[in-house]
Amino acid sequence: MSVEKLLSDDGNALTIVMDQKFDFSKVQDFRMAYSDVGDGLKEVTVDLKDTDYMDSSALGMLLNMQKTLSDRVSTFKIAHCKPQVMKILKISRFDKKFDIS
């Protein structure tokens, strides 16, 4: 599994589940996960429960997703962060742009 896309039955919520490495090699898969989700989307969650490594390109991908969907989506979340990933997100001040848990 590289990137898994889970859309709620009502089309309001999208969850993107990442694997162990969230880096430049995931650019296309990550973009495809949110590119064709429809107009009813209100919430996007990026689930990092399996992610041990994240680099600066992953941060860019998250910002690009937010920019692309911001006219339709009101809530962006990053969930299930391991401590080393949470540290990167907090140092980069992503806790100001995303709901992080």
pTM score, two decimals? 0.94
Each domain of the chain, given as residue ranges in start order, spans 3-100
Determine the topology of domain 3-100 in CATH: Transcription Regulator spoIIAA (3.30.750)
Could you give the CA distance from residue 62 to residue 31 in angstroms, rounded to a whole number?
A: 10
CA distances from 51 to 68, 71, 89 (A): 23, 28, 13
20-79 residue pLDDT tens: 999 999 999 999 999 988 788 999 999 999 999 999 999 999 999 999 999 999 999 999
* Residue appearing with tokens 């989700």: 37
User: Which secondary structure element, helix H or strand E, spans residue 16, and what is its range?
Assistant: strand 13-18
